[in-house]
């Protein structure tokens, strides 16, 4: 079981623009190749995201009124939403709204995941909290052919090669797919 941050990023290291838009991502050409997300998610037993990411899903997928847009890709896989405010629930989704220290939440997530992996969807600050606590095992990055110059950073933390080891590189259309093992802080 691993805790993985699987996300798309721009060449200059942003996961969303300054308006939390992902338009840059949908412009990128995947070469018509099969999207690897289905295979990845088959190995996920629990996942977490921050409030901004959850709100993006609500707004862009209209998931409260059309819950199948959440349930179709994620089914009943439990999701933990880190937030400091009240957020709408998606009917039928297995959601846990939490706040505070990531360590006890990670324990609950790993218990729920069983033999499967834990996926950290984003954002970068939330994932950074897991990295700070030594609870991030792997980065899986789809690097898109785009540069934004500003926006939400991939991981607003200093992680050097002492903590990161490149484990694989592949190409999917115009995307460079990179995998890094992450060591705990010293």
pLDDT tens digits, one per residue of 124-155: 999 999 999 999 999 999 999 999 999 999 99
- Angle at CA of residue 145, ends 174 and 28, nearest 5°: 65
pLDDT at 28 over 70: yes
The percent of residues in the chain predicted with pLDDT above 70, rounded, is: 97
- Tell me what percent of the chain is helix, strand and coil, each rounded to the nearest 5: 25, 30, 40
DSSP designation for 48: E
Superfamily, domain 3-13+21-182? Dihydrofolate Reductase, subunit A (3.40.430.10)
C-alpha separations of 117 from 37, 43, 114 in Å: 14, 6, 8
Structure tokens of 88?
């709408």
């Amino acid at each position: 079981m691993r805790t993985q941050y699987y996300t798309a990023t721009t060449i200059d290291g942003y996961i969303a623009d300054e308006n939390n838009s992902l338009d840059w991502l949908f412009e990128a050409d995947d070469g018509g190749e099969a999207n690897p997300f289905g295979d990845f998610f088959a190995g996920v037993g629990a996942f977490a995201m921050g409030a901004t990411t959850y709100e993006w899903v609500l707004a862009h997928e209209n998931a409260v009124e059309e819950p199948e847009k959440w349930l179709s890709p994620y089914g009943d896989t439990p999701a933990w939403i880190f937030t400091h405010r009240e957020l709408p629930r998606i009917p039928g989704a297995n959601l846990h709204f939490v706040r505070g220290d990531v360590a006890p939440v990670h324990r609950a997530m790993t218990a729920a995941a069983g033999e499967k992996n834990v996926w950290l969807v984003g954002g970068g600050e939330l994932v950074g909290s897991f990295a700070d606590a030594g609870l991030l095992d792997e980065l899986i990055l789809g690097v898109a052919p785009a540069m934004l110059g500003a926006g939400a950073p991939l991981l607003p933390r200093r992680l050097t090669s002492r903590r990161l080891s490149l484990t694989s590189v592949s190409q999917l259309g115009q995307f460079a797919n990179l995998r890094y093992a992450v060591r705990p802080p010293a």
